[in-house]
Structure 1
Amino acid sequence: MNSITFMGRIATDPEYFRTASGKVVCKFWFAVDRRFKQEGQPDADFFSCVAFDGIAETFGKCQVAKGTKLLLGCEARNNNWEDKEHRKHYDIIFYINAFEFCESKKKSDEAPATNEAKPTKGTKGTKGSKNNKSSQTFTPQPVDDDDDLPF
């Protein structure tokens, strides 16, 4: 089974483009903190990630950017190639097949926001539409539920 789960932050601003066949593609580097940090060693590993079609379109609509924290479900694929000088290169690219938004580093550094999603331009009057794909952005906020616990 080829299944990898990462939690980390987008390390570079995502690049968006379309393939010749019209598929939407989103590429970025993803930083994942190491569990144990050793003095003098990097604190994170960086992975090349790519998303296609629906996931790539969602990233674009939600304006994911450098610093956005995500939980990614991926599949690892080899990307082996040979350059003009006949040198072989071996890479692994992580193809995103599922994700969840966690938080945005930029948002968490600012003043706390409410949990209300505010409509943006172009969303007025679209209630009731079966094909409504709202361009509203929702930023989850931490919830303090300690008083609601039964123990």
Structure 2
Amino acid sequence: MGYFAAIIISTCSLWLAVGQTPPITEYQLGTWGRVNYVKAVISKQDLDTGSQPGEVALIFFRKLVANGKKDIPAQLIPRRLGGTGTETYNIAPMNERSSTFFKRKVEDPIYDAVSGGATVTLEVWPRYEGTEATRPVRFEASATRGDGTTVVDNVIIQNPPTA
């Protein structure tokens, strides 16, 4: 029965990869529906238009952290940058301290660049320890303006477990 469930989850993951909510333009899912990659093209009209995590995303998040870790449901494309909180492809477990670093090193510089009129492409890669893991051990992010100049240069945010 476990093998059959894994096939269904993998099939659903492929189906979910068909559509996305702007400004998100691309994403990839892995085992158990975990997010492996998400990309967004963010312009001024996207700022402050995102949504908070919805019920479906929160249920999904709780399944990812079923081991009792005190993580928060982080939006890989943050709400301030127009990221959706209602879709599971934009949610990953992150400890609060890592979330603070992510905001300072990734979200804030992009927000400032876009507020100044730039269109910025943000790419985020949650990195896992093993193929079955559902909680990232770190996040990697890069962002460039439309003219190719760097806003966020390969930032790595460690995501240690919170007891």
The structure in which a higher percent of residues are helix is 2
Q: Whose Rg is larger?
A: 1
Please give the TM-score of this superposition, normalised by the length of structure 2.
0.28
The structure in which a higher percent of residues are strand is 1
